[in-house]
Structure 1
Amino acid sequence: MIHTLKSDYLTVQINEKGAQLWSIRTEDGTEYLWQGDPKYWEDRALNLFPQIGLCTNNTYTLHGREYKMDIHGFIKDTVLAPAECGDSRLVLACEDTEETRAIYPFRFRYAIAYTLDRQTLDITVTVDNRDSQTMYFSVGGHPGFNLPLEEGLAYDDYCLQFPAGATAKRAECTPGDCIMLDQITDYPLIHDRIPLSHELFARRVLILTDMPRQVTLMSDKGHKRVTVTYPDMKYLGVWKCLGTQAPYVCIEPWTGVSARRGVVEAYESHPDMIHLAPGGHYENHWSIQIV
């Protein structure tokens, strides 16, 4: 089922499958969200839990036992149920099942709340640990945005603009499959920005860390902008279908990343995993502002 939120500025749609954003449209009819062309990428705005990216051989361990985990976890394939519905707010939630416990042996509740206020969509992810053992997980978003957003502009007219004085580092990964290389390098910004081009995504995703927790997708030649704010996310993935002319860019705030090359990661000892004690409650807020 598709749910709709409205303000005086935006109409936002959310799909119960994966609690995935389905549309972000302004009153003038501009569609900001990528609409899932399967030629390039059939999804639109995945929610990621309990894994970000890939596990080596689709496998992780927990206290010495091996489990299988798909890329970006299983929430993306789960139908979440409405816990709260209104004109400007929607909460979708799910709990563990026999199927999830076979690959992720915890009892939990995962929920995502979308709250629309004028031009800003706030996204709040909550996780409740209903188990008797500590839970380990990552959370993140994966929204794609159409480019160009205005007639007469080209893909490479756009950039990712950070606040003044910004610096950033790159978490290095392998081409194609985005397995981490356990290397952090300086990533030079040009006047606090990253110019976008199809060549930027010729071979691999861009994963930033140690950067400001806000970035704006914009063009000096246009007026339409998207600002993504992610105060509690350590990483920012920037991606589109590699080696193509795909007309979108994903701006992806994450708390964690893929496994390291050649390493089957142990969830309980991985430094980027969130540790949630039995009975604990976790929240992470991020937002998308449309101008």
Structure 2
Amino acid sequence: MFILQNDMLRITVKEKGAELVSLYHKKDAIEYIWSGNPAFWAKHSPVLFPIVGALKNDTYYYNNKLYHLSRHGFARDRQFTLSAATASELCFTLESDAGTLQQFPFEFKLDMIYRLQQNGLTVMYRVTNTGSGNMYFSVGGHPAFSVPFVEGTDYNDYYLEFNEPELAGRWPISANGLIENDSAPLLVNTQKLPLRKELFYRDALVFKNLRSRKVRLLSNRHNKGIAFDFAGFPYLGIWAAKDADFVCIEPWCGIADPVTSNQQLPDKEGINRLAPQAVFERSWGVGFEI
């Protein structure tokens, strides 16, 4: 485990999966990241790479060859290396090897960069194509925030507030983890989504191309909360394990296969194409000045 801290915040990141396991606000004495209770969900903030969500039959084709990847890809289960550290930043690196090439036929370097500001955290994904041909990939975040995070409050006291009024349906997820053909109404000219555990009984809320680039996690009972910035991510997932005391805010550059997928990787919805030696960067951030 590696710790990075300043006067206001302390974060803890582990090398396996380069996963953020703690985001502690010292002044407020609040732990904002889910504990990882295995009775509900044993993770905290997994890194999603080189796919986001599920593939049809866990399978894709590239250059007429079949490959298998499980949901959200392999990065969350791989050992990263701490490649750089300063007083305000930690960088963890994963590089392609013989094992990854069996599942994902591209040479790459993935840097996960955690940067502390005075009262906020920025998490950057830096993907470098180290191979000689185009690389096709997805990448995303899956941070789980504890709810409630103030003693004496209840899950139903919390809500998400988008920074723009939204007219957006959720894209339902099939029993096989695939995106259904049609959206279902959810946000109707509103900025507010009250949290209820039954919202997630049918898996995640999946949104495409929201107007908002920020969402706040707030309570009706107190003035503590977070502001979450996901600019640059065209998809957003909101999820919690059944009846668990957390909510995931998931910024994605990529999405699960649709039920009608042809399973060809270059045709996949939301796929990113990266030229040889090129670099792709995206960041999300958590702030506390709300």
Q: TM-score surpassing 0.5?
A: yes
> Which residue identity lines up with residue 60 of structure 1 in the other structure?
Y
1:214-253 paired onto structure 2 within 5 Å: 214-241=214-241, 244-253=242-251
- Which residue matches 2:288? 290
Asked if the contact 1:4–1:87 (Cα under 8 Å) also holds between the matched residues in 2, the reply is no
1:278: Cα distance to partner?
A: 1.2
For 1:249-279, what per-residue CA distance to the aligned partner results, in whole angstroms no more than 9, with x for missing partners? 1110001111122535211122310000112
Q: Deviations over 1:63-86 (max 9, x none)?
A: 221101011011101111111112
Match in the other structure for 1:15: 14
Mapped partners of 1:118, 1:258: distance in 2 = 35
User: Given residue 238 of structure 2, which amino acid in structure 1 is its aligned partner?
Assistant: V
> Which residue identity lines up with residue 283 of structure 2 in the other structure?
H
Deviation at 1:199, TM superposition (A): 1.3
Separation of aligned partners in 1, 2:78 and 2:263: 24
Q: CA RMSD in A?
A: 1.5
1:276 and 2:255 matched = no
Contact 1:167 1:192 in 2 (8 A): no
Query: Residues 53-72 of structure 1: matches in 2 within 5 Å?
Result: 53-72=53-72
Counterpart of 2:195 in structure 1 is 196
What percentage of residue pairs aligned between the two structures are identical? 31
Counterpart of 1:187? Answer: 186
Q: Is the 8 A contact 2:257 2:268 kept in 1?
A: no
Query: Where in structure 1 do 4 or more consecutive aligned residues deviate above 4 Å?
Result: none
Greater shift in the superposed pair: 42-51 or 183-192:
183-192
**TM-score, length-scaled by structure 1:** 0.94
Q: In structure 2, the residue corresponding to 1:180 is in which secondary structure? A: coil
Number of residue pairs matched by the alignment: 287
Unaligned runs of 5+ in 1: none
Query: How far 1:35 moved relative to its partner?
Result: 1.1
Q: For residues 11-32 of structure 1, give each alpha carbon's deviation from its aligned partner in whole angstroms, at most 9, with x where no partner exists.
A: 1011111110010111143111
* C-alpha distance in structure 2 between counterparts of 1:126 and 1:191, whole Å: 34
1:140 corresponds to 2:140: yes
Instruction: State the match for 1:46 in structure 2.
Output: 46
Question: 1:59·1:264 contact (CA, 8 Å) conserved in 2?
Answer: no
Counterpart of 1:26 in structure 2 is 25
Write the distance in 1 (CA, Å) between the matches of 2:177 and 2:196: 19
State the distance in 1 between where 2:61 and 2:119 align.
Answer: 42
Separation (CA, whole Å) in 1 of partners of 2:185 and 2:137: 27
Matching of residue 160 in structure 1 with residue 160 in structure 2 = yes
Q: Which amino acid aligns with 1:36?
A: G
Helix, strand or coil at the partner of 2:143: strand
Gaps of 5+ in 2: none
Give yes or no for contact 1:55–1:264 (8 Å, CA) kept in 2. Answer: no
